[in-house]
Amino acid sequence: MIKVRIPTPLRTLTKGQGEIEAKGGSIAEMIEHLNGAHPGLKDRLCDEKGELRRFVNIYVNEEDIRFLKGKDTVLKDGDEVSIIPAIAGGA
Amino acid sequence: MAKMKSLVCRECGKEYPTQAMHVCELCFGPLEVKYNYDEIKQTISRETIAQGPHSMWRYHDLLPVEGAATVGPHAGFTPMVRARNLGAYLGLDELYIKNDTVNHPTLSFKDRVVAVALTRARELGYETVACASTGNLANSVSAHAAASGMRCYVFIPGDLEAAKVLGNLIYKPYVVEVEGNYDDVNRLCSEIAAEHNWAFVNINIRPYYAEGSKTLAFETVEQLGWRAPDQVVVPMASGSLLTKIWKGLNEMKTVGLIDRVTTRVNGAQAEGCSPIATAYKEGRDFFRPVKPKTIAKSLAIGNPADGYYALKAAAESGGAMDMVSDEEVVEGIKLLAQTEGIFSETAGGVTIGVLRKLAKQGIIKKGDVTVAYVTGNGLKTQEAIIDAVGRPVRILPSLVSFEKTFKMGKNGQGGA
């Protein structure tokens, strides 16, 4: 099982849960699985072409998937995934 | 009618009430304050502004708070320095330094954004404030929270300059040093913010917080005699400051304070962390995140949330972006200090380094009215220049020792 942390804006789709379990061998598969359990979730994360929206950041075990293989990043049992909206600091 | 209409998503346009939230629930796009410009236009004028306080709050009409400033009443209205010496060195006839190294109370431009953020946080009923910071923001949040009696948590990366750590501790907030870089701190804080009902100035309060940076543009226009400059050079970390300076310049036109804005907005980054400037150079409208490695730690954000909008602002205004090496950052700090007597932190070294490059390349021209934003104080980043400034000349406490060391002639023109 993969543990997924859900940001506030998506909790309306997860009955208020901040942490849920999911399956999938990659980020793309995980999103499909999440969408099965919580319909509408994929549309919020991905645009019409199925690409991740540009203000959605996804991390696997604290690492940004853009430093890994993006949506093809491989997931294994016990991995922790965070979905986080982009935020700003600094100048 | 209130001057703030709503929060609006910059991506999809969905509107929300003016509460503590920063992300569109539909598309994750950032929310921005929408103003009732028609109303503001009725009351704002050069005269009313000139009669206002000698602080950034003279532009209260264009800031996202309802009542008077309850936090940070003295922030802003910093000197606009006509930089004749540096201008002569760079071949620029009309160069100015907007000097936020002397902002009140914590010596960086962050005092502007924090004054807005905490005033708004109080209006929304918060008693605890927090931030993720590369240093200057944490210093400012800590100081303002102390002065306003709010509980305060600041989260900083584990490798900050000593003065920036000390500059939190003295105000006695909870200082949390996170093992990792700023992007790690930012990610963690986003998750903490979802679990605790705090005013996180650069997370759930961000739509208000970020607007404070516009005051740098407002002051620029007023201090130049109610005209927008031809060129500005702005340091970039998340890209927020550059985006807001562009917005601020255009707002002044929108509300009728100036007739035109033909300013080119140029962005500056350090080579060791230049995701936005690299995207510009490669002609892309999206950036690739990087792992920062630069002495310009206040700009070391590898995943710049406003990078898209900074690229858009540069493109709309016809501005350029460039980056400089760490050596050029140190050179930039020294050059500004030794020509204008202004001691900047590393971010200012980045700005001056890029200003120098753009002037040399003819992108900024001799006759252009140019403003460079120097946003933080050099005493906070001493580690960066400690090996590059030489040592004092040491002598015995005697006239002989002095004369011998300096071989002073009768005209006093000797040297060590």
Cα separation, B53 vs B379, in Å, equals 28
Q: How many separate domains does chain B show?
A: 2
Q: Which residue of chain B comes nearest to A88, CA vs CA? A: B305
Average pLDDT, chain B: 96
Q: Where are the beta strands (DSSP E) in B195-263?
A: 199-200, 231-235
With a cut of 70, say whether residue B182 has pLDDT above it.
yes
Cα separation, B295 vs B367, in Å, equals 33
Per-residue pLDDT, B194:
87
Model confidence band, residue A91 (pLDDT cutoffs 50, 70, 90): low
Binary contact (B289, A67; C-beta < 8 A) = yes
Rounded to the nearest 10°, the torsion over CA B391, B397, B403, B408 is 60
Per-residue pLDDT, A9:
87
Q: Give pTM, 2 decimals.
A: 0.95
With a cut of 80, say whether residue A90 has pLDDT above it.
no
Please tell me which of the candidates A10, A18, A91 has its beta carbon nearest to residue B237.
A91
Cα separation, B200 vs B153, in Å, equals 9
Which residue range forms the structural domain that includes residue B252? 80-106+211-384
Q: Degrees (nearest 5) of the Cα angle B378, B383, B388? A: 85
Residues of B with Cβ-Cβ distance to A56 under 8 angstroms: 28
Residues of B with Cβ-Cβ distance to A90 under 8 angstroms: 134, 137, 182, 237-238, 240, 298-301, 304
| Residue B57 maps to a domain | no
B364-377 mean pLDDT: 98
Q: How far is B163 from chain A (nearest CA, A)?
A: 17
Residues B33 and B89 in one domain: no
With a cut of 70, say whether residue B413 has pLDDT above it.
no
Does B206 contact A at CB distance below 8 Å?
yes
Task: Find where tokens 């998503």 sit.
Answer: B9
Model confidence band, residue B257 (pLDDT cutoffs 50, 70, 90): very high
CB B296 within 8 Å of CB B236: no
Binary contact (B301, A90; C-beta < 8 A) = yes
With a cut of 90, say whether residue B41 has pLDDT above it.
yes
* Burial classification of residue B361, based on how many CB atoms lie within 10 Å of its CB (0-12 exposed, 13-18 middle, 19 or more buried): exposed
B220-227 mean pLDDT: 98
B360-369 mean pLDDT: 98
Residues of A with Cβ-Cβ distance to B303 under 8 angstroms: 57, 64, 86
With a cut of 80, say whether residue B415 has pLDDT above it.
no
Per-residue pLDDT, A86:
79
Cα separation, B199 vs B211, in Å, equals 16
Model confidence band, residue B210 (pLDDT cutoffs 50, 70, 90): very high
Where on the phi/psi map is residue B318: left (φ > 0), alpha (ψ -120 to 50), or beta? left
Average pLDDT, chain A: 92
The A-side interface with B (CB below 8 A) comprises: 5, 7-10, 12, 18, 44-45, 53-57, 59, 62, 64, 66-67, 82, 84-91
Binary contact (B239, A89; C-beta < 8 A) = no
Binary contact (A9, B195; C-beta < 8 A) = no
Does B306 contact A at CB distance below 8 Å?
yes
Model confidence band, residue B411 (pLDDT cutoffs 50, 70, 90): low
With a cut of 80, say whether residue A40 has pLDDT above it.
yes
Count chain A–chain B contacts defined by CB atoms under 8 A. 112
Model confidence band, residue B363 (pLDDT cutoffs 50, 70, 90): very high
Paired with A52 in beta bridges are A46
Q: Which residue of chain B comes nearest to A53, CA vs CA? A: B27
Q: Where are the beta strands (DSSP E) in B159-310?
A: 174-178, 199-200, 231-235, 264-270
Per-residue pLDDT, B412:
58
With a cut of 90, say whether residue A88 has pLDDT above it.
no
Per-residue pLDDT, B203:
93
Q: How far is A77 from chain B (nearest CA, A)?
A: 22
| Residue B335 maps to a domain | yes
Cα separation, B133 vs B144, in Å, equals 15
Where on the phi/psi map is residue B218: left (φ > 0), alpha (ψ -120 to 50), or beta? alpha
Task: Specify the length of chain A in residues.
Answer: 91
Q: Which residue has the higher pLDDT, B414 or B279?
A: B279
Binary contact (B240, A90; C-beta < 8 A) = yes
- The CATH number linked to B351 is 3.40.50.1100
| Residue B280 maps to a domain | yes
| Residue B86 maps to a domain | yes
Q: Where are the domains of chain A?
A: 2-85
B247-267 mean pLDDT: 98
Please tell me which of the candidates A82, A88, A89 has its beta carbon nearest to residue B191.
A82
With a cut of 90, say whether residue A8 has pLDDT above it.
no
With a cut of 70, say whether residue A84 has pLDDT above it.
yes
Which tokens hold the place of B343? 């001691």
Does B11 contact A at CB distance below 8 Å?
yes
CATH no. of A2-85: 3.10.20.30
Per-residue pLDDT, B416:
52
CB B370 within 8 Å of CB B232: yes
In tens, the pLDDT along A48-58 reads 999 999 889 99
Cα separation, B280 vs B274, in Å, equals 10
Cα separation, B283 vs B276, in Å, equals 11
Residues B10 and B99 in one domain: no
| Residue B121 maps to a domain | no
ipTM score of the complex? 0.87
B265-288 mean pLDDT: 96
Cα separation, B346 vs B134, in Å, equals 12
**B291: CB partners within 8 A, 6+ apart:** A67, B181, B302
| Residue B137 maps to a domain | no
| Residue B409 maps to a domain | no
In tens, the pLDDT along B325-347 reads 999 999 999 999 999 999 999 99
Which tokens hold the place of B93? 């006839």
In tens, the pLDDT along B63-122 reads 999 999 999 999 999 999 999 999 999 999 999 999 999 999 999 999 999 999 999 999
Per-residue pLDDT, B1:
60
